[in-house]
Amino acid sequence: MANHEHISGSFGDELEGVKNKLLEMGGLAERQIKMAIEALDNEDKSASKAVISRDQLVNEFEVNIDEETSRIIALRQPAASDLRLVISVTKISTDLERIGDEAVKIARQVKTLRKEARSRTNYAEIKIIGERVSSMLRAALDAFTRLDPQAALEVKTEDKHVDKDFAAALDNMRVLMAEDASMIKSILCEIWVLKALERIGDHACNIAEQVIFLDKGVDVRHLSSAELRDLLAS
């Protein structure tokens, strides 16, 4: 009996350990987004290089988490909610790694934008969207920590607002390009940044979907908003 409790306790510690590692990775990904946007705002080449360099840490987190979850599945053969947790951790780590990649894409635009004429109006829109997707990521990770499917659903709702902001900003940038050909190169870079931010929002939504899967045991990737609300109400 004592040996069984020891094994059970050890398994619980392993699950908690990999979960904490994932949250640490999430914190790093969030800081990468913030630093990339600040580097863009300040045209800070050294800060952009730091974002690019630190992406290796994000990648290492993903590899370590993959190794740990594979080991847990092979040795512990988790079932039910434990298995869902392991699956969710693996998928969320993939989304966090891709968020890190998008932060790098943003940072890489600093070099070009330092040389070109820029619109501060465009940057204001970029900053607003950047703050929104950063908040979405933070909220998705908080929902994962608390296993809060309602909070996860709010993240998915917020993504619709981000999509609207993205479309409006894109329209404004197209108008500016038509009015001032000298700004075409910088605006194309800014559009690249906007697309990276939109994808970060999409990855935050993926994380939120994993929270709902973890709680309900249902794959919700292709459910409508109404179907999600019905599921959470059941």
Question: CB of 29 within 8 A of CB of 62?
Answer: no
The pLDDT of residue 41: 87
Mean pLDDT of all residues in 93-122: 86
Which pLDDT band holds residue 116 (cuts at 50, 70, 90)? low
Report, in this order, helix, strand and coil percent for the chain, each rounded to 5. Answer: 90, 0, 10
Residues 160-179: tens digit of each pLDDT: 999 999 999 999 999 988 98
- Distant-in-sequence, close-in-space partners of 231: CB < 8 Å, separation ≥ 6: 212, 216, 218, 220, 223
Checking if the pLDDT of 137 tops 50, the result is yes
The pLDDT of residue 193: 95
The pLDDT of residue 121: 65
Determine the Cα–Cα distance for residues 164 and 199; give it in Å rounded to an integer: 14
Determine the Cα–Cα distance for residues 184 and 68; give it in Å rounded to an integer: 47
What three-state secondary structure class fits 80? helix
Checking if the pLDDT of 37 tops 70, the result is yes
Determine the Cα–Cα distance for residues 157 and 41; give it in Å rounded to an integer: 28
The whole-model pTM stands at 0.92
Residues 60-72: tens digit of each pLDDT: 999 999 999 999 9
CB atoms closer than 10 angstroms to residue 86: 21
**Domains of the chain, with CATH numbers?**
2-233 (1.20.58.220)
Which pLDDT band holds residue 2 (cuts at 50, 70, 90)? very low
